[in-house]
């Protein structure tokens, strides 16, 4: 019986050690550069009162934000106050008193790749799941952007305001800025459509960080009348809207990638100048012979007749004309 007890005691010690390793691995990891990655960071908390003695005004700012609501037990200010995000303040106070300089805290200044990753870990400790489910595989995470590159904590965050969100995004996405100022564009400048209506900046399972799994599903969120199914389908339409449209802006009408009939003739190559299958030649510019004068010369658009270009439910709409 005593031997059995000893065996059980050894097994219990081994199991406890294994569990301790698992817990330690979950709570903190030692980075390759030797920095401590544990959460919460080690140190002694000094309290919010010690912070506001030097950093005046920040407490009043936070009281107007979600993070500063002490009545909500989920917020940082309801737990360790300022130190919930910035880390224990003991070392910070010691450095300030000895050297007259700050330090020893997570400043959210994002001055290096390592500091940005450390800052993001503080945010991700609370902000998990939901819209942030795909953050680790997102393009912004791959670029080692800090959360504070887009968000502000103490002040109103412009990226959360529909009237200013686009200006935050186009600071980096300069190509998109050029597109939204083209002749034809979504009402992005007017803030009737904003980036977050279509994209999830924290990552997604769809292409280009789209909120849906495909381009078409994203577009159908607003353009539901084009979803179909139609009796007569136009196959490029049901495959990918971006085959014909430039989403952010275009120099052609209706956000088209090219003007008609050039756009249509990319697929319908047999319907072109001198084409024999069509009722008239779209490029007939010979006005000397009235018999060859085409009623399609003005406008030169296939949609003059094929108005139901996205699909038709009419029994006689095989040619998408009704």
Q: Has residue 20 got a pLDDT over 50?
A: no
CB 93 within 8 A of CB 50: yes
pLDDT at position 299 is 60
321 pLDDT more than 70: yes
Candidate from 14-28, 119-133, 279-293 with smallest mean pLDDT? 14-28
Question: SS3 for 153?
Answer: coil
Q: According to the model, what pLDDT value does residue 14 have?
A: 39
Contact 297, 313 (CB under 8 A): no
Q: What is the pLDDT of residue 92?
A: 85
Q: What is the pLDDT of residue 200?
A: 95
Amino acid 241: pLDDT: 95
pLDDT mean across residues, the chain: 80
| Residue 318 token pair | 């095989």
What average pLDDT score do residues 129-141 get? 90
Of the ranges 4-8, 63-67, 84-88, 210-214, which one carries the lowest mean pLDDT score? 4-8
Are residues 105 and 50 in contact, defined by beta-carbon separation less than 8 angstroms? no
Paired with 30 in beta bridges are 36
What Rg do the C-alpha atoms of the chain give, in angstroms?
Answer: 31
Decide: 252 and 259 in contact? Cβ < 8 Å: yes
User: d(Cα 282, Cα 157) in Å, to the nearest integer?
Assistant: 53
- For residue 210, what pLDDT band results from cuts at 50, 70 and 90? very high
Residues forming beta bridges with residue 245, ordered by sequence position: 256
- Average pLDDT rounded to a whole number, residues 82-95: 86
Residues 263 and 251: their CA atoms lie apart, in Å, by: 13
Cβ atoms of 154 and 59 within 8 Å: the answer is no
Q: What is the pLDDT of residue 181?
A: 95
Residue whose C-alpha is closest to residue 265's, from 285, 251, 283: 283
Domain ranges of the chain: 229-322
Element (H, E) at 311: strand 311-312
* Segment (H or E) for 107: none
pTM: 0.76
Write out the DSSP string of 206-228.
Answer: SGGGBSSSSHHHHHHTT-GGG--
List the beta bridge partners of residue 250: 184
Up-side HSE of residue 290: CA atoms within 13 Å toward CB? 0
């Amino acid at each position: 019986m005593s031997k059995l007890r000893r065996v059980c005691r050894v097994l219990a010690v081994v199991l406890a050690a294994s569990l301790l390793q698992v817990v330690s691995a979950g709570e903190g990891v030692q980075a390759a550069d030797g920095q401590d990655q544990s959460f919460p960071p080690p140190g002694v908390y000094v309290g919010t009162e010690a912070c506001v003695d030097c950093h005046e005004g920040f407490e009043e700012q936070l009281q107007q934000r979600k993070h500063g609501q002490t009545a909500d037990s989920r917020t940082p200010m309801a737990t360790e106050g300022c130190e919930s995000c910035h880390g224990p303040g003991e070392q910070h106070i010691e450095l300030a008193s000895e050297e007259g300089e700050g330090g020893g805290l997570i400043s959210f200044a994002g001055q290096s790749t390592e500091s940005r990753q450390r800052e993001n870990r503080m945010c991700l400790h609370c902000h998990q799941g939901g819209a942030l489910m795909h953050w680790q595989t997102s393009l912004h995470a791959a670029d080692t952007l800090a959360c504070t590159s887009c968000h502000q904590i103490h002040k109103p965050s412009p990226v959360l305001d529909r009237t200013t969100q686009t200006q935050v995004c186009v600071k980096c996405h300069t190509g998109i800025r050029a597109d939204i100022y083209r002749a034809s564009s979504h009402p992005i400048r007017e803030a009737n459509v904003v980036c977050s209506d279509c994209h999830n900046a924290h990552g997604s399972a769809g292409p280009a960080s789209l909120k849906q799994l495909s381009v078409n599903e994203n577009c159908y969120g607003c353009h539901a009348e084009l979803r179909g199914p139609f009796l007569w389908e136009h196959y490029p339409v049901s495959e990918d809207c971006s085959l014909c449209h430039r989403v952010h802006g275009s120099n052609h009408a209706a956000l088209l990638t090219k003007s008609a009939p050039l756009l249509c003739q990319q697929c319908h190559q047999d319907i072109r100048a001198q084409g024999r299958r069509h009722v008239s030649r779209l490029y007939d510019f010979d006005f000397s012979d009235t018999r060859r004068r085409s009623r399609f010369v003005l406008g030169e658009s296939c949609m003059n007749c094929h108005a139901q270009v996205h699909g038709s439910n009419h029994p006689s709409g095989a040619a998408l004309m009704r």
